[in-house]
Amino acid sequence: MKRKWWIGLAVAVVLISIGLGFAGNYFYDVAVAINQKDFIEAADVDGDYDPKDPWMEEKRWYDEVDREKLSIESADGLKLSGVYVEGEPSSKKVAILAHGYAGSLEQMAPYVKLYHDMGFNVLIPDARGHGTSEGDYIGFGWHERKDYLQWIQLMIDKVGQDAELALFGISMGGATVMNVSGEELPLNVKVIVEDCGYSSVNGELAYQLKDMYNLPEFPLIPVTSLVTKVRSDYWFGEADTVEQIKKNTVPMLFIHGAEDKFVPTEMVYDVYEANPSPKELYIALNADHADSYEENKEEYQQKVQDFVLNYIPN
């Protein structure tokens, strides 16, 4: 009788393990693997101009401005691509932008123009696995932080040792620049602006699992994290932006939409409070995820200009 009990237990453990393995790989494919993300609203990047598009002017400007293609090779051998938009020829100011989850540099036109109008040269990389960059998984801003250290060095080499750099990121890009802030940065990096980044990958994925599937964090998040470690060489728990930002010394502006339902607004308070450097918090009224600029255009521009130009003046 006892033997049958142990056999039954062993069979149950094996079946549960197989089921969790399938679930972990399924959610890896949903969240981490590079594929069509149907739950993400696709941006219009086809070059058509809709008169109702609030960014029509910025997109038209971006399509017409001269752009230089640049690339780097990541530490793990990926060719990563970017576009460089020159400002004033003698300018030593460079803004390095980071786009969001499942996006690309082509969606950053409004922010390119915002920084270009402030007198910056602007670099817009495609994150690994996005746009024209190589890669088959999304690093949620964790592996990307190391890529951005290389982009930073490339800009110093290109513009000169007296380059003055601003980092800006939106959504996953916001998490990316916050994660970069916890690394050893050259003194050329003078200011960082993050817009609607999440405070941790575990927290964001747990929130989405509940919101999209009405499922609890345990055991699916730990299992999917294990699958991610096997398939993409990082644990979700490593990508803890709060812990990274505790090491930051660069002045940072934190922006978040008051009505954000994708990266919940309360996450910005976690990173803001953890940050020890000079800082400012801007909660944009009536704004959902990544909509703060669109919903509050003049105020957003003024907040960004005032903060950035305080540390990199014209």
- pLDDT tens across 223-275, in order? 999 999 999 999 999 999 999 999 999 999 999 999 999 999 999 999 999 99
Dump pLDDT digits (tens) for 4-53.
655 554 545 455 556 666 788 899 999 999 988 776 665 444 445 566 78
Domain ranges of the chain: 1-30+201-235, 55-200+239-311
User: The tokens of 236 are what?
Assistant: 């979700």
The mean pLDDT of 130-145, rounded to a whole number, is: 97
pLDDT in tens, 231-241: 999 999 999 99
Mention every residue, 6+ apart, whose C-beta is less than 8 A from residue 35. Answer: 29
What residue ranges in the chain does DSSP mark as E strands? 68-73, 79-85, 93-98, 121-125, 164-170, 189-195, 252-257, 279-284
Q: What is the CATH number of domain 55-200+239-311?
A: 3.40.50.1820
Which amino acid is residue 235, in one-letter code?
W
